Amino acid sequence: MTLLDVGNLWVKFPTRQGMFEAVRGVSFSLKKERLGIVGESGSGKSMTGRAILRLIRKPGIVEADRIALEGTDLMRLTEIQMRQVRGEQISMVMQDPKFSLNPVMTIGAQIMEAYLLHAKASRSEARAKAVEMLEAVSIRDPERVMRAYPHEMSGGMGQRIMIAMMLIPNPQILIADEPTSALDVSVQRQVLDIMDRLVTDRGMGLIFISHDLNLVAEFCDRVLIMYAGRIVEVCDADKLHAAQHPYTRGLLNSLPRLDQPRARLEVLQRDAAWAEAPSVSGRV
Amino acid sequence: MSGMTLRQWLLTDTPTSRRHAKMASFYKGWLTLRGNTMAMFGLGILVALGLIALFAPLLAPYDWTTQNLGNRLQPLGTEGHLLGTDSLGRDILSRLIYGSRITLYIVALVALIAPVAGLLVGTVAGYVGGWVDLVLMRITDIFLAFPRLVLALAFVAALGAGIENAVLAISLTAWPPYARIARAETLTIRSSDYISAIRLQGAGPIRIITKHIWPLCISSLIVRVTLDMAGIILAAAGLGFLGLGAQPPSPEWGAMISEGRRFILDYWWVATMPGLAIFTVSLAFNLLGDGLRDVLDPKDSET
Amino acid sequence: MLDITDLNVWFGQGRDRVDAVKAASLAVEQGESFGLVGESGSGKSTILRAITGLAPDWSGRITVDGTDLGRRRDRAFYKSVQMVFQDPYASLHPRHSVDQVLSETLHLHGLGEIDRRVAKLLDDVGLGPRFRFRYPHQLSGGQRQRVAIARALAGEPRLLLLDEPTSALDVSVQAEILNLLTDLRAERGLTYLMVSHDLPVVGHMCERLAVMKDGEIVEVMEVAALRRMEARHPYAQSLLQASVAG
């Protein structure tokens, strides 16, 4: 069943040198799956994630034939209706938890607030729910964490708390924009495992935005590879290492590998035709 | 390059010489400023003020000192006296026009003294740190603890009344906030990688402060000075009003209000017209300052 | 080339004192490329900052090219040891053009013919003369890092300290920068001390490496052993596992 269907999405920014097109006619759909979007900085991957939630700040412009969430076209909703969608139906986890949590509120208060915003419940119910969520993201001492402030948390803890907060209203879709790039390798894995478990258990759709091909190959079901605002290739994640497009191949080959020592790394030779080729559809 | 328009040459991302790069970044700043209607409005008023001051003898219908006691306290729109006359029969419009010179003089002097002193104290305190910081900042605190006008009054009382002393007094009370801003900026700049990098090239503190820290502090100080200008003009007018700034018969706007005060109930325009002039110029500085903030703030110009 | 014995580095004093590096010892041979790996907060960057004098509180012995370093670093030191920072967006002065950055550096090292040398440096790091008068905001991350490398090379140093030089860059740009560093080392006979959290990058660039945890060096090994996955210390093993799983 298709959760989200995006058709011909454009994100544009007016500049002095004319219109800058960050995303250029991208189409894809999302089922109850883990969909990876990979690309380099400036490829439009983050803008795609934000555009779905209509979080592009002015003077940026979002245009799309449709962004349908279970049949409702998000492009037609008012800003007030959109606020209902954000959080309740689609949640987003950003790269750095430090910037997403309010530094002067305790973590407990923030999670409870997130819950109370979307559900009619008493404070004690909200509290119980918050503790339950913290346990769900494998935080050992939830009562203590509830009373703590964000600066007392490590990066990995902070990101787990963000995930807990985002999952409280039981959204159908989670958009994770580089959720682990600020974390150490060992912590990265824990956070991904937790996210994976929650998403699978709840039957959610996940859009996982990352620059890390290996991570996406390992963690997702399906991958969209973006270049210059377009999708250049769509493939199953387990077949990513056998990808066909020269851009994807170039990215894979430019990574140093411990098992294959080389004197020099392969350098990606960009081809102007890649940017001009029409966007590949990521619809299933 | 011949096929290029001047605009393209200025907007290029690949400048070909030092001068070209400077002019290009200046032009981009100008375009941002031009996009801000209110700032351009403020700039327009200030340019007009400058021109009026420059061409005062040509613009003023009368000499600012000419008295005509038989023609005193004429209302607005009187034949030959558009803004009326004051208690000694002097043309108010002419006096306002000549007064713009004094206003600009005060503004220029204060703008030269206060921010420079503040920048020096603030960046040195911020960069050197330790006891130097402690001493300089406590001195700053002492100056900040005095009410501004009272301190200025004390200085003028000690040095004698007059425009120069008023300017000096205002500058002395105006520099501490600039020192605070410059110090706060320096503290964040000091720990940045590009300062570490230049230290690793063996640069000494004087070079780092003047060549690397000042250029980054100056923009926020310019913005702050422009926004403060209104307050400075008002302080100068206030001193003039209290009789401690410009002395009669000088057409300083504050002094003119002070003179008109005696007749304010029956002849309101005598005090109101210079008041409106002060208001307009102060507003113009505030509008321009707001616009400049958008142009000069390095935090926003990154994108 | 570089000898570090029993290095301790700390920040703050009294109760606020944090020991960032504890009794670290390592030796880097002339012409060698040596890696320092560990997670954030393990003290690997702090070692670099102690060598350059940017971390003022340290004890132990640091010897560069046979001379013991004291509290202060002199011009001669900065001529032979230079550093490339992690974030190219933060390591260039936002108001200085590429030309200004390089000219000033050359001037500080007391070198003449600045005009010619700037052009040569830009050429060496693969940036053409087109980039000479640009400001940092007109450059991409990779181009900025090239400028930073050019700045570090201006005084013709012999030891280059690399603090995660590619972790803020895209993988394709990372490959270009790593290749550039490889070439420069071969051309100029440079010695590298490279800090990174990325084991494959260190494996590609270095011959030997030290693994750090909580301010201590837990293992020093050859990259050949790393490739064979022969780490002895359990922490080094777990780090290796986590990096290879991907």
Residues of A in contact with B31 (CB under 8 A): 16
* The CATH homologous superfamily of the domain defined by C2-244: P-loop containing nucleotide triphosphate hydrolases (3.40.50.300)
Class of domain B30-62+81-301 (CATH, top level): mainly alpha
Residues of B in contact with A56 (CB under 8 A): none
Extract the tokens encoding C59: 């004890």
User: Does the CB of B101 have a partner CB in chain A at under 8 Å?
Assistant: no
Residues of B in contact with C93 (CB under 8 A): 194, 198, 212, 216
- Whether A243 and A228 have beta carbons less than 8 Å apart is answered as no
Average pLDDT over residues A22-47: 92
- Token match 């935090």: residue? B299
Indicate yes or no: CB of C91 within 8 angstroms of CB of B200. no
Nearest to C134 among B15, B194, B302 (CB): B15
Indicate yes or no: CB of B28 within 8 angstroms of CB of A17. no
Instruction: Identify the closest residue of chain B to C90 by CA–CA distance.
Output: B193
Burial of A149 (0-12, 13-18, 19+ CB in 10 A): middle
pLDDT value of position C245: 59
Q: CATH number of the domain at A1-89+208-284, out of 3.40.50.150, 3.40.50.300, 3.40.640.10, 3.40.1190.20?
A: 3.40.50.300
- Whether B288 and B39 have beta carbons less than 8 Å apart is answered as yes
- Token match 């926004």: residue? B227
pLDDT in tens, C12-60: 887 888 889 999 999 999 999 999 998 888 889 999 999 998 888 899 9
Closest CA relative to residue B94, chosen from B233, B230, B86 = B86
All structural domains of chain B with their residue ranges: 30-62+81-301
Tell me which of A192-201, B125-134, C192-201 is least confident: A192-201
pLDDT value of position A173: 92
Distance from the Cα of C121 to chain B's closest Cα (Å) equals 16
Measured distance CA(A57)–CA(A59) in Å, rounded? 6
Distance from the Cα of A264 to chain C's closest Cα (Å) equals 6
Judging by DSSP bridges, how do beta strands A205-210 and A173-177 pair with one another?
A: parallel
Does the global pTM surpass 0.90? no
Extract the tokens encoding C235: 């922490």
User: Does the CB of B11 have a partner CB in chain A at under 8 Å?
Assistant: yes
pLDDT in tens, B163-205: 888 888 888 888 999 999 999 999 999 989 999 999 998 888 9
Which of C172, C196, C209, C239 to mutate to test binding with chain A, by most A CBs within 10 Å of its CB?
C172
All structural domains of chain C with their residue ranges: 2-244
Interface of A to B at Cβ within 8 Å reads 16-17
Closest CA relative to residue C27, chosen from C55, C57, C65 = C65
- 3-state per-residue secondary structure call for chain C: CEEEEEEEEEECCHHHCEEEEEEEEEEECCCCEEEEECCCCCCHHHHHHHHHCCCCCEEEEEEECCEECCCCCCHHHHHHEEEECCCCCCCCCCCCCHHHHHHHHHHHCCCCCHHHHHHHHHHHCCCCHHHCCCCHHHCCHHHHHHHHHHHHHCCCCCEEEEECCCCCCCHHHHHHHHHHHHHHHHHHCCEEEEEECCHHHHHHHCCEEEEEECCEEEEEEEHHHHHCCCCCCHHHHHHHHHHHCC
Interface of C to B at Cβ within 8 Å reads 52, 54, 73-75, 78-79, 82-83, 85-87, 90-97, 99, 104-105, 108-109, 130-131, 133-135, 137-138, 148, 151, 154-155
Measured distance CA(A84)–CA(A50) in Å, rounded? 16
Where is B302: in which H helix or E strand? Answer: none
Indicate yes or no: CB of B21 within 8 angstroms of CB of C154. no
Closest CA relative to residue B42, chosen from B225, B293, B294, B289 = B289
Measured distance CA(A154)–CA(B212) in Å, rounded? 34
The answer to whether the complex's ipTM is over 0.85 is yes
Indicate yes or no: CB of B197 within 8 angstroms of CB of C91. yes
Indicate yes or no: CB of C134 within 8 angstroms of CB of B25. no
Distance from the Cα of B300 to chain C's closest Cα (Å) equals 11
Extract the tokens encoding B216: 């980054």
pLDDT in tens, B84-131: 888 888 888 889 999 899 888 888 898 889 999 999 999 999 999 889
pLDDT in tens, A10-30: 999 988 778 899 999 999 999
Distance from the Cα of C225 to chain B's closest Cα (Å) equals 35
Measured distance CA(C221)–CA(C207) in Å, rounded? 9
Question: Residue A251 pLDDT more than 80?
Answer: yes
